[in-house]
Amino acid sequence: MEAQHREDLALAERLAAGDEAAATELFRRLSGEMFGYARKMVADPVLAEDVLQEAMLGMLKSIGKYDGRVSLRAWGYGILRHKVVDAQRKRGREPIVSGADPEADDYRGDGHWKDGVTLEPWNEKAEVVDVVRKCMDALPHNQREALFLRALDGMPAKEVAVVLEMSYANLRQVLHRARQAVRRCADQALGPQATEEWS
Amino acid sequence: MVMSKFECPESGDPLMPSCHLVADTLSDYLEEQLSDADRMLLEEHLRACGLCMVYLDQFRAVYRVAGQVDCSELPDDFEEVMGAVIRRWQADRQADGKE
Ligand SMILES: [Zn+2]
């Protein structure tokens, strides 16, 4: 058993016993990062904080159900993502989920790069971080959450697939679509044909 | 040979057809899901093909930024609110007779 895994089970046991220090430790480890997720998934920071509170309380209350099959962190994201969807539905917003779309590819059926795919290095000085973030915000719900979770430091792909309740093969598809879409979007701001409107 | 899909392209031709196979495989490359043989062929293509190399660099940049959490975005009352969640949990436990 990996050290992290043992640590997770020990922490869960303390939480099940009502240990307040364990709860503080759990929150210190996960709440900031999980707020980052909530913030990416719901634009409103107040709503993001509400949703996170619900999720953290949900984790504490259902800790008895944690079985250690995935990390505590992945388990927590599983709870959080459902809270996010619930909150959006309450506001009358159905999460937009995209499927496979051949139009999303950067090359044509004959294998040549599509017109407009310039493939020149991005301007180093440009605000890559800001631009990529804005482009991520425009992704469909399922692509955005997959890309965020997969890019999180130290979250193994197989765990991300469990959190998202999809097969690993399916996750790879979703990730590929997401990376293509963000790359293309960011290229419009950072590539050689970038317009002023971004800066 | 099956692996010929990654054959090294003629240098400088921006429309080399094999690039789309590379582009389609880059996610699996980043996910370390390619066989050793496929990975080596892909890397060989990347060395010869500046376009695919740029494409890969841009994928990597997207990836680097995508998982970043900006702590300066945390609300001012964040710690307080999280502390309140813990207190609520403890109160609920007491009400349920667990303490
Ligand atoms: Zn190429």
In a domain, A84, yes or no: yes
Helix (H, G, I), strand (E, B) or coil at A119: coil
CA distance, residue B1 to nearest chain A CA (Å): 20
In a domain, A78, yes or no: yes
Are B19 and A120 an interchain contact pair (Cβ–Cβ within 8 Å)?
Answer: no
pLDDT at A57 over 80: yes
CATH number at residue A31: 1.10.1740.10
What tokens were used for A114?
A: 């599509």
Residue A165 CB partners (closer than 8 Å, separation 6+)? none
Do A85 and A139 lie in one domain? The reply is no
Which of residues A65, A98, A131 is at a domain's end? A98
Do A80 and A171 lie in one domain? The reply is no
In a domain, A15, yes or no: yes
Question: What does the pLDDT read at residue B45?
Answer: 87
Do A92 and A181 lie in one domain? The reply is no
> Model pTM?
0.85
CA B39 – ligand 1 centroid, Å = 14
CA distance, residue B14 to nearest chain A CA (Å): 8
Q: Give A-chain residues touching B72 at CB under 8 angstroms.
A: none
Question: What does the pLDDT read at residue A111?
Answer: 65
Under 8 Å between Cβ of A83 and A95: no
Do A129 and A192 lie in one domain? The reply is yes
Do A2 and A49 lie in one domain? The reply is yes
Residue A108 CB partners (closer than 8 Å, separation 6+)? A114
Q: Report the residue of A112, A179, A185 to disrupt the B interface, i.e. the one with the largest count of B CBs within 10 Å.
A: A179
pLDDT at A49 over 80: yes
Overall number of domains in chain A: 2
Q: For chain A, what percentages of helix, strand and coil (3-state, to nearest 5) are there?
A: 65, 0, 35
Do A93 and A127 lie in one domain? The reply is no
Q: What is the largest CA-CA distance in chain B?
A: 75
Residue A195 or A83, more confident:
A83
Q: Angle CA(B85)–CA(A161)–CA(A138) in degrees, nearest 5?
A: 75
pLDDT at B3 over 80: no
Question: What does the pLDDT read at residue A153?
Answer: 82
Do A92 and A22 lie in one domain? The reply is yes
Which whole number is the average pLDDT over A167-195? Answer: 87
pLDDT at A177 over 50: yes
Do A90 and A3 lie in one domain? The reply is yes
Give the model confidence (pLDDT) of B7-64 as tens digits.
444 444 443 447 877 887 888 888 888 889 888 888 888 888 888 899 999 999 998 8
Domain with A175, as residue range(s), is: 121-199
Do A83 and A150 lie in one domain? The reply is no
CA distance A88 to A46: 13
ipTM of the complex: 0.83
Do A78 and A170 lie in one domain? The reply is no
Question: What does the pLDDT read at residue A102?
Answer: 63
What tokens were used for A180?
A: 């293509």
What tokens were used for A4?
A: 């992290």
Are A61 and B89 an interchain contact pair (Cβ–Cβ within 8 Å)?
Answer: yes
Task: Measure Cα distances from A155 to A20, A152, A160, A162, A173 in Å.
Answer: 26, 6, 7, 11, 18
| Nearest CB to A18; choose among B14, B19, B98 | B98
